[in-house]
């Protein structure tokens, strides 16, 4: 197998879906030894709304931290020889209670690096803060990447967000509330645009209202009895406008944790606002599958996403299509 300079698998652009799935598994395996080039503090000037005595950060399971009070951004830059100039801020899921930093963070960064995309895994504040702390964290992350884009070899007009489950809700919040006052802290960096240029949402939480809401995400983000206005504001299908960036969505029809109606209602809102959007709604597919193979057609979503990114000029076209 051909590999990059640092030993990671390099997929040929012409490989088929089955081969891509096998190679994706190899890339995920390589993630076990891949470390970020740099871990960046989000708030070196001091975390906004810092708690006087936060509970200590712990890992409930390996790579599943909770009680995060000092958020960071782990940088996985694309190799200079393969760098496309595109970057993605990754928001792992975990119900706004903890974060799946491996399969929905680091492993995704490895996959994006294979595509020549620089990746930044966001470790955002959960669960002691609630809204607006996660929103502030993701918007600060986008601003930091955009401000420092030249140093990373990134095109500041090709910075996206990618999120899973509750992290999908956070990515969608960044895509709809990027200029919201609650996402700003008065820092000089607030002057840098926090609008993502594209969004990728995988089995995302979208609504905070009704039977399709994910109860755990709603409680940890908004509290046990949130005011109706806050519920509506964070039901991000209501926040879509013509300024919302293009979207790629993935959901399994038998998702027992976050119903596929979440992706459907967001897709329809994007359609009404005439925002370019692509929805891959599979008949089957478990929640939390990430990029793991063996889950049927939904396991092919990374290939579909790569094709979508190519169609939008975020990645180069395969040689046969140039």
Residues 224-278 pLDDT 10s: 999 999 999 999 999 999 999 999 999 999 988 999 999 999 999 999 999 999 9
Confidence bin at 205 (pLDDT 50/70/90): very high
- Reported confidence tier of residue 321, pLDDT bands at 50, 70, 90: low
pLDDT value of position 290: 72
Residue ranges of the domains in the chain?
A: 73-317
Q: How confident is the model at residue 1 (pLDDT cuts 50, 70, 90)?
A: very low
Q: What's the chain's average pLDDT?
A: 90
The answer to whether 93 touches 168, Cβ cutoff 8 Å, is yes
pLDDT for the residue 322: 55
How many residues appear in the chain? 322
Per-residue buried b or exposed e for 275-285, using 16+ beta carbons within 10 Å of the residue's own CB: bebbbbbbeeb
287: confidence class by pLDDT, cuts 50, 70, 90: confident
Structure tokens given for 85: 């100039």
| Residue 137: predicted pLDDT | 98
The pLDDT of 139-162, averaged and rounded, is 98
The string of pLDDT tens digits covering residues 113-141 is: 999 999 999 999 999 999 999 999 999 99
Task: Tell me which fold the domain 73-317 belongs to.
Answer: Rossmann fold (3.40.50)
Q: Determine what percent of the chain is predicted with pLDDT higher than 90.
A: 81
Average pLDDT over residues 74-82: 94
pLDDT digits (tens, 9 = 90+) for 13-69: 333 333 344 344 444 444 444 678 999 999 999 999 999 999 999 999 999 999 999
- 85-111 burial by CB neighbour count: b if 16+ within 10 A, else e? bbbbbbbbbbbbbbbbbbbbbbbbbbb
Instruction: Work out the end-to-end distance of the chain between its first and last CA atoms, rounded to an integer number of angstroms.
Output: 25
């Amino acid at each position: 197998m051909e590999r990059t300079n640092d030993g990671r698998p390099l997929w040929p652009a012409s490989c088929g879906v089955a081969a891509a799935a096998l190679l994706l598994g190899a890339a995920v395996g390589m993630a076990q030894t891949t470390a970020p080039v740099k871990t960046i503090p989000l708030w070196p000037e001091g975390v906004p709304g810092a708690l006087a005595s936060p509970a200590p950060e712990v890992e409930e399971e390996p790579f599943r931290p909770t009680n995060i009070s000092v958020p960071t951004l782990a940088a996985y830059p694309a190799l200079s020889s393969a760098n496309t100039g595109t970057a993605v801020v990754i928001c792992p899921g975990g119900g706004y209670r903890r974060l799946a930093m491996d399969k929905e963070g680091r492993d995704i960064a490895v996959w994006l690096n294979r595509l020549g995309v620089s990746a930044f895994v966001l470790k955002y504040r959960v669960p002691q803060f609630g809204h607006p702390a996660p929103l502030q964290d993701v918007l600060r992350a986008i601003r930091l990447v955009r401000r420092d884009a030249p140093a990373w070899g990134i095109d500041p007009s090709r910075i996206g967000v990618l999120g899973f489950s509750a992290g999908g809700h956070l990515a969608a919040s960044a895509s709809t509330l990027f200029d919201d006052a609650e996402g700003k802290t008065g820092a000089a960096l607030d002057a840098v645009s926090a609008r993502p240029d594209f969004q990728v949402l995988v089995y995302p939480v979208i609504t905070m209202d009704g039977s399709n809401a994910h109860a755990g995400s709603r409680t940890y983000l908004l509290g046990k009895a949130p005011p109706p206005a806050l519920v509506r504001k964070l039901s991000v299908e209501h926040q879509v406008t013509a300024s919302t960036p293009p979207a790629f969505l993935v959901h399994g029809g038998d998702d027992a944790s976050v119903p596929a109606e979440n992706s459907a209602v967001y897709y329809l809102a994007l359609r009404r606002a005439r925002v370019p959007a692509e929805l891959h709604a599979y008949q089957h597919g478990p929640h939390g599958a990430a990029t793991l193979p063996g889950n049927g057609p939904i396991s092919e979503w990374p290939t579909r996403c790569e094709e979508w990114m190519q169609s939008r000029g975020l990645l180069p076209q395969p040689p046969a299509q140039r």
